[in-house]
Structure 1
Amino acid sequence: MSSFTATDFCVDLFLLLRQHGLALGLKDLFAVLSIVEQKWPWPTDEHEEYRLRIRLVWCHALAEEQLFDDLWAPTFADALQEEVGAREAPPPLPPAPPRPETHDTLEQQQDEREQSNLPPSDPSAAAAQWSPLPFYVPLSLVPVDEQFELGSYWPIARRQMVYAWRYLRRPVADGPCDRFDLDATLAATIRYGLYRGPLYRRRERNHAQLILLLDQNGSMMPFHRFTRDLATTAQYESSIEHVEVYYFHNAPSAYLYSDPHLTNPVALQSILATCTPNTSLLIVSDGGAARGYRRPERIRATRTLLRTLERHTLLHAWLNPMPRERWADSSAQVIAALLQGRMFQMDEDGFSQAIDVIRM
């Protein structure tokens, strides 16, 4: 009875494909052994089906499939020839008892091999045949609770900033008189009883003025991206006529800065000298809520600033990038009370409410 099985054929084909460069591992070999039957040789009607199954498991590209088809036929023919030879061969002799190999015996074997002019074995083929096979760890996904939420905080998107600035308008009809006024034309036609020609009105222009005071560095560093987007969208992506941006650290003092690096000081009085009652002013700062401190000196400096602002304009509001629940027991809680409801959380709703306050 033959000792050659389908497992032997799959292993031979597996090693041959690895020698030709296919990245196959033990996982791939076991996957094929689980779908083939051990009876050998396979019936004629099942031979082609097994070839397609094995190729589907081991090959993942057209080049690999071509190599597989080229090696399948000779390997399968050799396996059948070995099966026939195993059937016709005489029963093997019992193995001879092992004898210990000494140094002299090894030298004698080496001399006999040299005298018989045996061709040397190919080291690359032997290394490819007996090299350790890669081991693939099966992929096991960790179950994730559907109620799980990442602890990230995203104050407001740039697109929402651009959209919200559109509502900061102070329209004044002082542009060119080139807008067709349908209502006035109809009223004049009714009044005179005949059509006397179209009537026009002046074009409205947005005369809104905005001053941004942005807290910089320190606890506001994680929010620099949002404050930068807030300034650039107001300056370059809105219809606001005049926008000024100034920076401070922690609390505004007698001097602000015209650059985010806090190197060009500008006197606060010179900034407020250009303000009118229609100037909108927006302050962006965490007010101490990021670190949860309550600093009396910060509260006093902010209170002094608010009193100074009220003498020039009442259209001012405060945006806090920290969530509202983080304001408790910090300087931001006291500053929010001083503002009398004019401090808002820097999110979509809070930004819209701040725009409503500073455009009144």
Structure 2
Amino acid sequence: MDRARRGYILIAVLAALALCTALLGAYAATARRAVTLAAADVQGAQAQYAARGAAIQAAKDLSYGIGRGGFALQAGRFGASGEGSGGAPRGASTQIEGLPAFPPEMSNAAGFLGILARRMEQARSSQGVEPARAEPELAGQSGAEDGAAGAEAAPPAPIVVTGRGYMEFDGARVEVSLESENGKINLNLSTRRTLRDLLIVLGAKSDEADATLNAIEDHRLSLLAATSVERAAGSRREMERPLRGRPLDRIEDLLNVPGLSPALYESLVRHATVMGEGLLDPNYASEEALIAVGIHSEPLLRRIAEVKSRREPLTATSMRQILGMAVYNQVADRLAYSLEPLFTVRARATKGASVGRFMMRITINENGTPVMLESREGWM
């Protein structure tokens, strides 16, 4: 009997040990999960700080560039992808009306945030001081060949160098881009034919381009009141008119269009906008945008690119000389050279599996001071 009792006791002890082992294993798994989630939260915060800080720094660099008649994506000397580089006078203004505060935690922080803050400062100090370079005058600017040429008598506005740059540190990768909305095709105001040509030059097939534009137009129509005459008119697809329906407020609203993939959005957002007057400034236009408005000749596109690479401003006179009268007359009413400045700064930071995003839109007031129109976290 004592032997049986001892057996029962041994079984109970083993069962208790097994239960304790299971509980300890569950606790360890829970602890590991908690540590993993905490690490992910930290990485997420670091990524968001990096994106926000880099975007703000790039916006400050924009004000430096405006002061010197050019712009270099300086934040981290990011190694801009083929775009211009150069320093700005350290005495240039960095005041931007409405700019979000640079995260105060970064000023004296240790670790990741401190590294980011110090890297930004080192990048700026490494630029040195360069004198502002006067923009060259193009032949024919002083003469008024026609009304457009007469409007060019005033010195052209400085060309702000846009582009994309990268920086890597402490396991994080930061990408910052500066875009001019004036160099993009306007989704609200351009004709269906122009938008279709843009989609095709971006790689879409004809039927895919038509389906995408139909989806955008249907989405815009759905935003109208049910009693709207335009909404009740049916699905007329007119090539020489803008898409029907309520205009989009932000380019990011494309993400609400049924069937429009994030990949297509990422491709389109670099060449399309919903801001501005519907005209294209060739100084900031991509080759794809120039093709969409009707400049198809590769030699002409190369000549435009060569002028831009020399940081010479494109004007009505110089575009007429480059394109020739026949082509110029076909596209002249789609181009403009003195539009209200509109820039978008986008920053994307990756830390581990976490991604932080920050976006700002900036204009320039009458005094030449940058003014922030909006800022958003988590943009696509």
TM-score range, shorter chain: under 0.3
Structure number with the bigger relative contact order (C-alpha 8 A, sep ≥ 6) is: 2
TM-score (norm 2): 0.18
Name the larger-Rg structure: 1
TM-score (norm 1): 0.19
